[in-house]
Amino acid sequence: MQPVERSNPEGVDFGWVMQVTFVTTILVGAPVVAALSTTVTLPTWESRVSFAVRVGAIIWVLVALSAYAYARRTDAGDGGSKPDEAESADDPSD
């Protein structure tokens, strides 16, 4: 049987940042876009889509930068283990 590959990223876990960005952008972004769209006249589907993309892109960038800053500051996404604990758990020679 082939061993399962493991990863112990040093620094920021970008997989975690991408997942959190995706979920948070949908949960926060959709209501924000809907609320902001009530203050603008959007007569055609093209204008509605354009508005959603423009506002959604701004929200996505802000969420991504916030998630990255949080992960960098708190070591989020590392599974809760300290780097030295993870290394000793992966080393079968101990």
- Report yes or no on 23 lying in a domain: yes
Instruction: Report helix angle 45-74 to 14-37, nearest 10.
Output: 140
Residue 93 lies in a domain: no
Residue 18 lies in a domain: yes
**How far apart are alpha carbons 16 and 80 in whole angstroms?**
13
Q: How many CB atoms lie within 10 A of CB 56?
A: 16
With vertex at residue 87, the alpha carbon angle to CA 82 and CA 93, rounded to the nearest 5 degrees, is: 145
Residue 89, in any domain of the structure: no
Query: In this structure, is residue 81 part of a structural domain?
Result: no
> Structural domain tally of the chain?
1
Spatial separation of the C-alpha atoms in residues 3 and 63, rounded to whole Å: 36
pLDDT tens-digit profile of 6-60?
Answer: 666 677 888 889 999 999 999 999 999 999 999 999 999 999 999 999 999 999 9
Residue 24: domain span: 14-75
Provide the pLDDT confidence category of residue 2 given band limits of 50, 70 and 90: confident
Q: Is residue 84 part of a domain?
A: no
Residue 57 falls inside a structural domain: yes
In a domain, 63, yes or no: yes
